[in-house]
Amino acid sequence: MLEIGVGTGRNLDRYPADVHVVGIDLSPAMLSLARARAQELGRDVDLQLGDAQALSFASESFDTVVVTLALCAVPDDHQAIREIARVLRPDGCLVWLEHVRSPFAPVRLVQRLLDPLLVRLEADHLLRDPIDHIKQGPFVIERLERSRLGYIERGVARRQSVGLA
């Protein structure tokens, strides 16, 4: 499986021991923290420098792609999702958890106010929702959950064996 934007490797202890994990991140500093965490956990994880918008892997080479709190930081999240679709095998799963644009107007208003600052200071986008792009295919959404205020979303989408969007 592939984790995109693996960061400091906070998800590494969640993966079953018999799964081969590849993690990519744009930041060498994050990767070195993830390497230290993998070592602490005694996990052999293939951690590589890489850009979610232009993955260096062959098409249809992973059964599962995981992304948590990273699509909000990738400059072109739509391109990242196209790349995820490309590297997933037919019937493979995209599993994601992101902070997203809330469907509730008062929460969204606060997000709208904070977004320019957060984008400028942290390159963190508050008004995105990966589902906008995932829905365009080639995925079938199997599970979708939101937090009570609607700004945390998690889901599972299965890649269909049709042409890429």
Ligand X SMILES: C[S@@+](CC[C@H](N)C(=O)[O-])C[C@H]1O[C@@H](n2cnc3c(N)ncnc32)[C@H](O)[C@@H]1O
CB of 162 to ligand X, least distance (A): 26
According to the binding rule CB under 6 A, does residue 23 interact with ligand X?
no
Exactly one of 53, 64, 79, 136 binds ligand X (CB under 6 A); that residue is 53
Phi, psi of 27 (to 5 degrees): -105, 115
According to the binding rule CB under 6 A, does residue 7 interact with ligand X?
yes
The token duo for 117 is: 């600052």
* # chain residues binding ligand X, by CB under 6 A: 17
Residue among 97 and 131 whose Cβ is closer to ligand X: 97
Interacting residues of 27 by C-beta distance below 8 A, sequence separation 6+: 7
List helix spans (H) across the chain.
28-41, 77-87, 105-122, 131-134
Exactly one of 12, 21, 30, 85 binds ligand X (CB under 6 A); that residue is 30
CB of 16 to ligand X, least distance (A): 18
Exactly one of 21, 38, 45, 74 binds ligand X (CB under 6 A); that residue is 74
Interacting residues of 136 by C-beta distance below 8 A, sequence separation 6+: 165
